[in-house]
Structure 1
Amino acid sequence: MPTALPLLPRESDDAACGRPAPAAALSDTDATDLARALKALADPTRLRLLSIVAASPDGEACVCDLTEPVGLSQPTVSHHLKVLTEAGFLIRSKRGTWAYFRVVPGAVDRIAALLPR
């Protein structure tokens, strides 16, 4: 039967006990908001759509022009655009029967600012 090694107390356990969280730590609200935003961006199609809209002339794109570049149906593209809009990355405006999308200024910068450095 193998001999058990004696367990020694870890100094880090004593040092961390009772200490407040670092000032740079995310609050519960910020962590929830950041997770929601990162989840919206964690899809390759949504990243491509955001990139296409940002690179479009005049900084906006019609949903009718976004289906072909990603090779998906209009309802699927609309779903992805809705997720990006609800996460605060895109602004939607309706013109006639078509929806146009524009990147929210500073949206990506706000996400980066929430990450601890």
Structure 2
Amino acid sequence: MSKSGSLAVASLNADTPCCPPIAETRIPAEAAAVLAPAFKALGDPTRLQLMSMIASAPGGEICVCDLTPAFEISGTTISHHLKVLREAGLVDAERRASWVYYRPRPGLMRQLAGLLAVEESAAV
């Protein structure tokens, strides 16, 4: 991800919406360019499962040592998927001794959820 993309993601992690939900109005091109990598990262089934495990972890974080055994793929592949989630701005990672702990970035997750929000009257 480019440096300018990283700065834009950081600004979109605030608690204020980046833009109105897509069911209400067209998303600005700049916001779409920043949010698309997060949606793309979540488009992979393994990454979506990893994100679910990270976001629902007790205490708000989870060790990679607890993530890897949940899948029938190599640790290297899990590391690749976690790197994609980090680069998309969806998770933060912190190394402690020989293990890495992951926690979600709730601001960006709220941005994605808000963008997809649909009122009942709009869905009919």
Sort the TM-score into its range (normalised by shorter chain): 0.7 to 0.9
How far does the alpha carbon of each residue in 1:31-88 deviate from its partner, in whole angstroms, 9 at most, with x for none?
Answer: 1122211100000100100111122221211111111112221111111111111111
Which has the higher relative contact order, 1 or 2, with Cα contacts under 8 A spaced 6 or more apart? 2
Confirm or deny: 8 A CA contact 1:34 1:114 kept in the other structure. Answer: no
Q: Could you list the runs of 5+ residues in structure 1 that have no partner in the other structure?
A: 1-22
What is the aligned-residue RMSD (CA, Å)?
1.8
Confirm or deny: 8 A CA contact 1:53 1:61 kept in the other structure. Answer: yes
How far 1:109 moved relative to its partner? 1.3
Find the aligned partners of 1:95 and 1:108 in 2 and give their Cα distance. Answer: 25
Equivalent residue number for residue 32 of structure 1: 33
Find the aligned partners of 1:33 and 1:95 in 2 and give their Cα distance. Answer: 30
Structure 1 stretches of 4+ moved >3 Å: 114-117
Q: Which has the larger radius of gyration?
A: 1
Calculate the TM-score normalised by the size of structure 1. Answer: 0.72
Confirm or deny: 8 A CA contact 1:63 1:74 kept in the other structure. Answer: no
Find the aligned partners of 1:105 and 1:86 in 2 and give their Cα distance. Answer: 15
Find the aligned partners of 1:109 and 1:116 in 2 and give their Cα distance. Answer: 10
| Residue identity in the other structure for 1:54 | A
Calculate the TM-score normalised by the size of structure 2. Answer: 0.68
Aligned-residue identity in percent = 47
Q: Could you list the runs of 5+ residues in structure 2 that have no partner in the other structure?
A: 1-23, 119-124
Alignment coverage as a number of residue pairs: 95
* DSSP-derived class of the 1:66 partner: helix
